[in-house]
Amino acid sequence: MEKKKLLVTGGAGFIGGNFVQYMVNKYPQYIIYNLDLLTYAGDLTKHREIEQNDNYHFVKADITDREVIFSLFEKEKFDYVVHFAAESHVDRSITDPGIFVQTNVLGTQVLLDASKQINISKFLHVSTDEVYGELDFDPTTFFTEDTPIMPNSPYSASKASSDLLVRAYHETFNLPINITRCSNNYGPYHFPEKLIPLTISRVLNEQKVPVYGDGKNIRDWLHVYDHCSAIDLVLHEGLDGEVYNVGGHNELTNLEVVKTIISTLGKSEELIEFVVDRLGHDKRYAIDPTKLEQLGWNPTYTFKTGIAQTIQWYLDNKDWWEQIISEEYQNYFEKQYTI
């Protein structure tokens, strides 16, 4: 029997990278293609252990490059596409929105057009809970799949636009699709511009940790391995055309997250520095995952077990993040923060 071909875009990044490893190990009967441009957020060193596997291939390409993408799809005739590739950091979208529209909107459209040309079984678009905008602090309110799309940042607006294109290609061209909308991820290989890895790396270096505003904004944290299992399930069992929210009910204020990391590492809370708030800072995100649970998904990590695993991973893998924070990252950090 011919092996199924799965294209993962953005598989050199944080979540896509974890997903590639999860799939390569779980499905030896699939051929997995990792397509990534290797922007500042992409790195291949994380795949050293699988790069020799027969069922893994890397392709360096830009999803906005129509010619390259079309000829790759024509040649390989993928069965599945799982689309992670994106500009993903809200703060960067505030200083430079253009690349977010380019990559997240136009790049998605190129992939949809290319998928439409071949007989694809499923296009799974990895989206975010941020497309729903923000919730207030009432703990009984949640994002469901029926919550109106109301993005607040250039990042979330670009993701919402790509979601709508994916939906439109399903409605207009019958392209088989699913959209997943996950809450905040954390875990191994998380780029240290984001709150959790930024806090771990700075606390380990005895540097100040910048907390925006009063630190009371709430995020709903999910370990990246649980996001991977959710995408695997939706890819294989998701009903055609459906959206699935992904989250594990782990709501915490940013201050609670930062304090947990500081105390686990045995350091002082004096490292916390309150800095000017993010523009348009969303107050609270919280996912209702009932629909995905009904499909058979359950997370395996609580925030307590997940953050302990993650902190240990950063302690064990200093080489990986130290190399990252010594490059382009320093310029970014100096421009973004004044501490």
Q: What is the per-residue DSSP string for 291-302?
A: HHHHHT------
Partner that binds at residue 36, options ligand NAD, ligand DAU, none, CB closer than 5 to 8 Å by kind: ligand NAD
> Which residues inside 22-51 make contact with ligand DAU, applying CB under 6 A?
none
- Residue 263 or 330 having the CB closest to ligand NAD: 330
CB of 61 to ligand NAD, least distance (A): 6
Alpha-carbon distance 130 to 51, whole Å? 33
Q: Which 131-160 residues touch ligand NAD, going by CB under 6 A?
A: 159
Q: Name the token pair of 144.
A: 């469901």
Query: Considering CB distances under 5 to 8 angstroms, the limit depending on partner class, which of ligand DAU, ligand NAD, none binds residue 195?
Result: ligand DAU
User: What token pair was written down for 281?
Assistant: 């800072």
Map the footprint of ligand DAU across residues 43-102, applying CB under 6 A: 88-90
Judge whether 195 and 217 are in contact, CB under 8 Å: no
> Would you call 129 a catalytic residue per the annotation?
yes
Please identify, among the stretches 58-66, 68-76, 235-243, 308-316, the one whose residues bind ligand NAD according to the rule CB under 6 A: 58-66
Cβ distance 246 to 182 under 8 Å?
yes
Instruction: Please give the structure tokens belonging to residue 204.
Output: 């380990």
The smaller minimum CB distance to ligand NAD, of residues 88 and 161, is found at 88
Distance CA(231)–CA(311), nearest Å, equals 24
Is 157 an interacting residue with respect to ligand DAU (CB under 6 A)?
A: no
Provide the strand spans (E) within 11-160.
Answer: 30-36, 56-60, 80-83, 122-128
Single-letter residue type at 332: Y
Counting contacts by CB under 6 A, is residue 306 touching ligand NAD? no
Q: What is residue 268's three-state secondary structure?
A: coil
Instruction: Fill in the per-residue mask, 170 to 209: x = in contact with ligand NAD (CB under 6 A), - = not in contact.
Output: ------------x-xx-----x------------------
- Which residue among 37, 195, 271, 311 contacts ligand DAU (CB under 6 A)? 195
Q: In terms of Cα–Cα distance, which of 40, 135, 143 is closest to 92?
A: 40
Interface positions, 282-301, toward ligand DAU (CB under 6 A): 285
301 is known as an active-site residue: no
Angle at 241 between CA 299 and CA 165, to 5 degrees: 105
Q: Which residues are catalytic?
A: 129-130, 155
Catalog residues that contact ligand NAD under the rule CB under 6 A: 9-10, 12-16, 36-39, 41-42, 62-64, 84-86, 88, 103, 107, 126, 128, 159, 182, 184-185, 191
